[in-house]
């Protein structure tokens, strides 16, 4: 099964068609860190991350991880932790995306395994399928409504890929 990002506002899976939003500057075959573009290609899905204070533990065939207050995702190309989950500490002198947020974007999200197995510095990091309430453009991720996200979770499994065209 494949999730298809057909254009800047349409996500398809099986016979379902969902509204989505993508990076502010569209799609890119040559993604760069901070370019506000969504990478083109076919990618595996990673874990589901969620906040139990805001959403129930998702029923899914994908592995789940609870988001804690000290979790971040390194988006600093100079760091050895680039495009990896990190523990935030005061002594940490790198840039990162905070996962435990005031807004609801990361109440539940799925890692898109872009630039993941063999990581290339500056090629983009922290590409997620996350939540949106207003469908405003993202920094490079794909965003859907919470209602659609929960439907999507019931359809996907460990073999599901996401194809961004």
Domain range annotation of the chain = 2-164
Q: How far is the C-alpha of 86 from the C-alpha of 74, rounded, in Å?
A: 7
User: Computed from CA positions of residues 5, 38, 126, 100, in that sequence, does the dihedral angle turn out positive or negative?
Assistant: negative
**Given the DSSP bridges, would you call strands 2-7 and 161-164 parallel, antiparallel or unpaired?**
parallel
CA dihedral 39, 154, 130, 145 (to 10 degrees): 110
Residues with Cβ within 8 Å of 39's Cβ and at least 6 positions away in sequence, in order, are 27, 28, 29, 31, 114, 115, 124, 127, 140, 164
| Rounded-to-integer distance, Cα 18 and Cα 5, Å | 10
pLDDT attached to residue 90: 85
The reply to whether CATH 2.40.440.10 applies to domain 2-164 is: yes
pLDDT < 50 regions, the chain: none
Question: What is the per-residue pLDDT for 75?
Answer: 97
3-state secondary structure of 44: strand
What's the predicted TM-score (pTM) here?
A: 0.96
Residues ≥6 apart with Cβ < 8 Å to 105? 130, 131, 132, 143
């Amino acid at each position: 099964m494949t999730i298809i990002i057909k254009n800047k506002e349409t996500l398809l899976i099986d016979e379902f068609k969902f509204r989505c939003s993508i990076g502010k500057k569209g799609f890119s075959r040559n993604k760069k860190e901070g370019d506000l573009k969504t990478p083109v290609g076919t990618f595996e899905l990673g874990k589901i991350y969620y906040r139990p204070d805001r959403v129930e533990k998702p029923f899914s065939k994908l592995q789940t991880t609870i988001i804690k207050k000290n979790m971040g995702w390194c988006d600093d190309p100079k760091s050895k932790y680039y495009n990896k989950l990190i523990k935030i500490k005061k002594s940490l002198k790198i840039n990162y995306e905070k996962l435990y947020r005031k807004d609801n974007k990361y109440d539940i999200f799925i890692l898109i395994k872009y630039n993941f197995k063999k990581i290339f510095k500056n090629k983009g990091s922290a590409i997620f399928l996350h939540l949106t309430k207003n469908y405003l453009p993202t920094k490079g991720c794909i965003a859907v409504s919470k209602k659609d996200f929960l439907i999507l979770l019931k359809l996907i499994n460990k073999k599901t890929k996401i194809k961004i065209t």
